[in-house]
Amino acid sequence: MSKKPARLRAWTFVALLAACHAPTRESSRVITPPLNETGAAPPNAPGRPLPPRPSDLNWPIEIAVRIEAAEGQGRLILENGSRTLTVRRLGEGLEAGGRVHPRLGFEASGPGGEISWNGKRYGGRFEVVPHPQKGLRLMNLVDLETYVEGVVAGELPLWSAQPAELEAQAIAARTYALYTLAMRGALTRVTEPRHASLSDSVADQAYCGLPANALADVESESSRQRMAAAVDTAVQQTRGGVLTREGRLADIRYHASCGGKTSNLEAVFPGTESGAVGTDCPCDEADAQAQKREWKYTFTATQLGALARTLGIGDRIVSLKPVQERPWRWSEVQVAGDSGQIQISFLRLRSLLGPSLLRSGRIEGTWPHPGDSIQSGGGWAVYGAGHGHGAGLCQTGTHLLAKREWSSVRILRHYFAGTVVQTL
């Protein structure tokens, strides 16, 4: 049993980066010119660290992914083909195989082998740690390129995905992961993994583990092989490719469907300064073809009451309206309750009401109209277009552009003007 104080034993572990060597600046090779020379990076916001240059990163890079479905569980059963290990939370540590550990690593039985939990297969290795609140936390530590494969397979419908679409997603996923980890301090200092990991959910990027997990329901073996090979090829073709702006990792986001026009990153995520601007997108045509362009939902008085209490503005919502008049996309919202009002970001409103119900800020109408009184006991009907936050790359638009034979680089330039693709 470890007798170390919790704060000491908690994080001797870490190293998101397996520091093998620091590549020289010459190893950073620009492979595409900037589309828009005027797309200069904005001045860095006070207090925010500058994103790293690709040449600042050590290679190879190992990513720690938090498996959300395991968060807080009291017992985890891990397998590697030749061994099964049951891990339980015990006090401040873990118990496995009759011994107590401050944390526990679990690896594949041999080179190139797999590990699995809950029927899902993963590359790399597992790390089990005590969850800060209760139970256990499971993390998959995996090399960057294997991680990117798991995101491409987790984010896109592989049965219909085009090669350029897969490649664009791979570059976007790699860039998001490195930028996000760098800005969380993971690439610049040793820190606790819970502050330096990526979620395997859409809170960061949907990561499915090995692509085979995303293909488990495909009956045809040849189809499974074809789709897995397409993911592998896209990641290989773009290996080490990231988007940079002014030589530094770009702050990029992506979403399912913008509704016909993407928005400036800063408008959707207040406080960011990326220089990323919105652009036209053909996804409304694609969505119309798929008959899924528009959505609507009516929030009940009960749902609105819960919102009012959470925001501390009473027991019911009296009215909602965007702060900006006639916006393309709601970004700031004035919410009035029966005992107060508050201005919040649309992101927060969507998070509180349910991202799958209030699907996007591309709102085309509400009843009652924005700002009009919602009757006591009445609901709030919303209809709109698109799915997701609407900033950066639109996955539905990317699919359509790839079908029109746009290359992945051209697609990325379209959604991220002023960026270039560099290899690490």
Closer of 103 and 362 to Zn ion (Cβ): 362
CB of 329 to Zn ion, least distance (A): 12
Which CA distances in Å does 131 have to 4, 208, 336? Answer: 17, 21, 38
For residues 279 to 298, the per-residue mask of contacts with Zn ion, x marking binding by CB under 5 A and - elsewhere, is: --x-x---------------
Q: How far is CA 33 from CA 169, 231, 244, in A?
A: 19, 26, 11
Span interacting with Zn ion, options 61-69, 160-168, 257-265, 293-301, rule CB under 5 A = 257-265
Closest CA to 387 of 323, 296, 306: 296
Whether the CB-CB separation of 21 and 58 falls below 8 Å is answered with: yes
Nearer to Zn ion, 92 or 285 (CB): 285
Distance CA 101, CA 1 (A): 7
Q: At 373, which amino acid appears?
A: S
| Cα separation values, 272 from 42, 95, 267, Å | 10, 43, 9
| Contact between 393 and Zn ion per CB under 5 A | no
Instruction: Please state the closest distance from residue 402 (CB atom) to Zn ion, in A.
Output: 13
Query: Residue from 108, 258, 313, 417 that binds Zn ion (CB under 5 A)?
Result: 258
CB of 214 to Zn ion, least distance (A): 23
**Within 10 Å of residue 297's Cβ, how many Cβ atoms?**
17
Beta strands in 20-158 (DSSP E): 29-30, 62-66, 75-79, 84-90, 93-96, 99-101, 104-106, 115-117, 120-122, 125-130, 136-143
Based on CB atoms, which residue is closest to Zn ion, 16 or 283?
A: 283
By beta-carbon proximity to Zn ion, the closer residue of 275 and 386 is 386
For residues 53 to 82, the per-residue mask of contacts with Zn ion, x marking binding by CB under 5 A and - elsewhere, is: ------------------------------
Q: How far is the CB of 272 from Zn ion (least distance, A)?
A: 20
Query: From the list 51, 209, 397, 418, which residue makes contact with Zn ion (rule: CB under 5 A)?
Result: 397
Nearer to Zn ion, 155 or 200 (CB): 155
How many Å apart are CA 53 and CA 245, to the nearest integer?
A: 9
CA distance 314 to 317: 8
Quote the DSSP letter at residue 103: S
Phi-psi bin for 396: left (phi > 0), alpha (psi -120 to 50), beta?
alpha
Between 142 and 394, CB nearer to Zn ion: 394
Q: Report the residue number, 117 or 328, with the smaller CB distance to Zn ion.
A: 328
Stretch that binds Zn ion, among 198-206, 319-327, 339-347, 389-397 (CB under 5 A): 389-397
The residues near 30 (Cβ < 8 Å, ≥ 6 apart) are 420, 422
249 binds Zn ion (CB under 5 A): no
Tokens of 35: 């589309």
Least Cβ distance, residue 396 to Zn ion (angstroms):
5
Determine which residue in the list 394, 400, 411, 424 makes contact with Zn ion, applying CB under 5 A.
Answer: 394
Of 127-135, 161-169, 176-184, 253-261, the segment contacting Zn ion by CB under 5 A is: 253-261
Q: Which stretch binds Zn ion (CB under 5 A): 80-88, 276-284, 319-327, 368-376?
A: 276-284
**CB of 381: closest distance to Zn ion in angstroms?**
24
Helix-helix angle 395-403:408-415, to 10 degrees? 140
Choices 125-133, 198-206, 258-266, 408-416 (CB under 5 A): range interacting with Zn ion: 258-266
Q: Which is nearer to Zn ion, 70 or 252 (CB)?
A: 252
Q: What is the binding site for Zn ion (CB under 5 A)?
A: 258, 281, 283, 394, 397
